[in-house]
Structures are given as C-alpha cells and as structure tokens.
Structure 1
C-alpha cells in the first residue's frame, strides 16, 4: 500500500469566494500559478539580484543531520556570508539551507517586491515574512509550523518537491512529544515500512513547485520539502480566525517550546530517547486503533 499521495489542486487564478469555499474553510491546500506573476519579484528575484541586495550579511545555515538532543530547536550547523552561500548553491548541490531569513531585518528593499494576497483573506502577519533558501537535494524535515498560521509559500528560481499531510495523521507520522516535528530517523520519500509500519496507508498530497508558484498550506498541515534545484521561497503568514487555533499557537510558542528546551538542556539523550520511544509507541497504538477515523 505505502504512503498514498494524491496530486494537489492547481489553479491559475482564484476568486475570494472560490478560495474561501474550496480551500480556506475546509483547510485544503492548493497551488495558485498566477498569484506571484503580479509581483515585481516574479521578474526581479534572480539569484544575482538577491545576492546584490542582501550582500555579505552573515546567515545561519542548517543541514539534514539529526538534531543534537541537547540543543534548542533550530540551532544552526554553521554560518556563512549570504553572498557566499548563494554562490555555493548555484555552483553545486549542498544540504545546507537558510531557514526563516527575515527580509525586513536584512533586506528591506525586497519588501517592495511582493504583495500579500489580502484580496483572498485577512489576518496577514505583515511583520513576519520569511524566506527559505536551499541547495539542490537539500531537505526540510517533516514538520508543521509552530505558530499554526496559514501559509502562502511562493517559490523562485527552480523547483521544489513538497509532500503534505493533514494534522489528523500526526500520530501515524511518528510525531515527537512536545514538538512540532516527526522522528528524523525515517525518510518520508523512501520509508522503511517494516521499521515504521504506521506510515503504511498514511494519506497525503504531493506537488512540485516551479518559479512563481504559490502553495497555500492551511493551518496545521505537516510538510516535507526537497529542493530539486538551488532555489528559494518566501512564506507569507496569516492567522486563522479560530481562537482555538490561536490558543494552540500561543501554547506551542511559549509553554511547549520552553518545556522542551528545559528538558533537552537538563536530560539530553535520556529525554530524546524517551521522546522517540513514545513516538513509536503512539504510532503503533494509532495503527492498531485504525486512526485517524
């Protein structure tokens, strides 16, 4: 059986009414082909342009290795000047990625080049655009976003492979306790079903983004991403109207994250081993109970 992936809905353009009824309210992902073609970024954002604008700002880089159990989440692997990193991902494959690059702080000029799609929905967090850069074959591990925002994720200068899973599959995806990510020991692109049987039968959505494509990811959706070329994306975030979702976001960002950091700092490998065993047990129980229903 394996993991069951269906192709994502793809539209060229979309009205607010259609977006609300088909995608926002039922929380279903969609790729919008033409949204970013109205942006100056569609033509301007080449590798050389962003390199020129950002320059020699030193940026943290992340790789695909399993996280250090004693380190806080999102601890970088190394640092590099932005311009040197852009040269690197244009020159050769690398698993090094830039994660949550802030254009307001580091490259305010880029803020003139994109427009949040407020004609589709409200609640945009205008102060928190974020950019992501990756070398060819680099991978973003399977996770959902800690702030539980809706995300409009637009890709530039290459291709990106994306797999998406509704939040209801979290136990079967081997979610780690007190975390927003899954076990890092399996490859969602080529899973070992004997070792991780709960993945067998998990249902998701798959898409391949090209230059200028915008992926709408509703709140809570798990996502795995692989850069098929050295390229980059920008994510624009918007709050869900639900106060329950907002409360979940605040819990994740405060209580859960702080507790997890304290436990990792004090108990290191012991705590991580417990988390991994708990994820395995929870997934096994979910599979036996036929969850989600």
Structure 2
C-alpha cells in the first residue's frame, strides 16, 4: 500500500497567506470553512438539485477503459437529472457526471456562490463545472489538459482525493499524447512488482466533506473516490508557470488533435501502442536511477 501524506488543512485563510504559502509554492491545501457564507452551503443538496434542475437531461460516463470503438468524451448514457439523483441515492453506481456546466442551464445557481478572493485570476467566471458520483464510484488518475490551478468544492457527502505531484509523472506510466496513466493500475491496491515505478511516487490524500475546498495546483495528478453520493464544483485559474501555460496550449491544440487523428487512422493498435510505450518510457527512467 502507499504511504500517504495528509494534505494540510486550515479552517480559514487570508488572500495573502493562500497566495504566499500555497499558490506561489504550488502546494495543495484544504480550506474547511471558505463556503460557510455562501447560500450554497445551506442550499446545495441532492434535493435542491432535483428541485432546480430535475428536468435537465445530463450526460453520464462510466469507468470503462479507453477504446477505439468509442468517441472521445462520448457519454455512456443520458437521463433526467432527477432520475440520476434517485439512482445515486438508491445504491452504488459507477455512472458519473463530469465537467458539466449545469449552472449555465440553471442561471439562478450563480447566486448561490461567490468567487473567492485568493489572489487567483478566475477568468472563466461563467464556466464553473460540476461533477456528480455515487458511493464507490471513482475518477481515474489523471491531470487536467489545461494544467489549470483548481479550486474544488465538495457538497452533500464525502469524497476522498488522492493527489500526486507533476514531479512524479516520470514514474506514473503516463500514456503518451494523453493526460492519463495506464488504466489497469489499481491505485487503491498498487502492485509494486508489476508497476515498480510507483515505489518512487509520493501520494497526498484528503477527505472532503460538505462545503470544504481542495486547492489542486497546476498539473497535479488526481484520483477521486466518492465515499458517499455527492457532487462537487470546480473553479479554474490559468497556469502560473510559463512552461505549464505553453504545455497546456500544446496539449489542447497539438497533442490532442494528433492523438485523435491517430486513433481514427490506427484504431485499437494506436491505443495498444501507447499503453506499451507508457511502460517502456517509465522503465527507461527506472533504469537510469539504478
């Protein structure tokens, strides 16, 4: 098993302290009471979501591995939000909602939260994204393609968040031209014999409860587990480091386009090739340090 470092937690924080201690140093932190003055702190629950958005049709995704037969970001199912919430509350399911701009569809929800003044520029103020999951569902290990700084707020339930630094990427069996690692790695019960690179990573862990915020610095890997049914909202700030901003542009406008093209041309052979190359690349790093 991994030996986790617990992510630092604070009750509240000033703009100056957040900027100097966490943002400038790119260090994750949990702020427990940042949302207590928000209307959302009292209002946002599954009952409220059903009330204001129950009739909205939402895209649902499962955790099946990447396949050449499936389009990128193609939903596995669609249903009314009210039916999805009922399904979440009824029992475990691996169907999730991610990167969904529900607030754009329900403008009144914008009145329920405030953009925190923490020294970050949050330029896309009309695009806070929501994420939903049921007990036992998880979000595979990945980092965000735009390498953004992320303020991740959780509501109505508990979620466990596992983070790893970009410095550990070389040991993570990262898939080329993508922002994921090998999908057959079990990060709950890592097999260090099969994946020896994982012996060299330092995982960080935090458990989020209703109203708590996790700051995820740019380019950090993250793996989310819903311990109970719950939902979260993310606000994003562009990369601080010039190199990360450049890499974000390359990810979005070069690597992703090339990857999609090769997937159309080669199909499953391209995916299998990248999976194998992830092992080759990590083994080269391991060989260089032994």
* Pairwise same-fold verdict (TM > 0.5): yes
Residue in 1 that maps onto 2:109? 110
- Distance between the aligned counterparts of 1:176 and 1:69, measured in 2? 15
Residue in 2 that maps onto 1:125? 124
Shift of 1:242: 3.4
Distance 1:169 1:73, change over 3 A: farther
TM-score, L = length of structure 2 = 0.96
Unaligned runs of at least 5 residues, structure 2: none
Residue in 2 that maps onto 1:41? 40
- Distance between the aligned counterparts of 2:249 and 2:284, measured in 1? 28
Between stretches 224-233 and 17-26, larger displacement belongs to: 17-26
Residue in 2 that maps onto 1:226? 225
- Distance between the aligned counterparts of 2:240 and 2:282, measured in 1? 30
Residue in 2 that maps onto 1:95? 94
Residue in 1 that maps onto 2:274? 275
Distance 1:70 1:171, change over 3 A: farther
Unaligned runs of at least 5 residues, structure 1: none
Residue in 2 that maps onto 1:27? 26
Cα pair 1:34 1:212 within 8 Å, conserved: yes
Residue in 2 that maps onto 1:262? 261
- Distance between the aligned counterparts of 1:289 and 1:3, measured in 2? 23
Q: How does 1:6-21 map to 2 (within 5 A)?
A: 6-21=5-20
Residue in 1 that maps onto 2:56? 57
Shift of 1:20: 1.5
In the TM superposition, structure 1's runs of 4+ consecutive aligned residues that sit over 4 Å from their partners are none
In the TM superposition, what whole-angstrom CA distance separates every residue of 1:133-152 from its partner, at most 9, and x where no partner exists? 00100010000011111000
Residue in 2 that maps onto 1:202? 201
In the TM superposition, what whole-angstrom CA distance separates every residue of 1:74-117 from its partner, at most 9, and x where no partner exists? 22211111110011101111010001110343221111111121
TM-score, L = length of structure 1 = 0.95
Q: How does 1:135-154 map to 2 (within 5 A)?
A: 135-154=134-153
- Distance between the aligned counterparts of 1:256 and 1:181, measured in 2? 13
Cα pair 2:134 2:229 within 8 Å, conserved: yes
How many pairs were matched up? 290
Cα pair 1:171 1:279 within 8 Å, conserved: no
Residue in 2 that maps onto 1:159? 158
Residue in 2 that maps onto 1:236? 235
Shift of 1:70: 4.2
SS at match of 1:189: coil
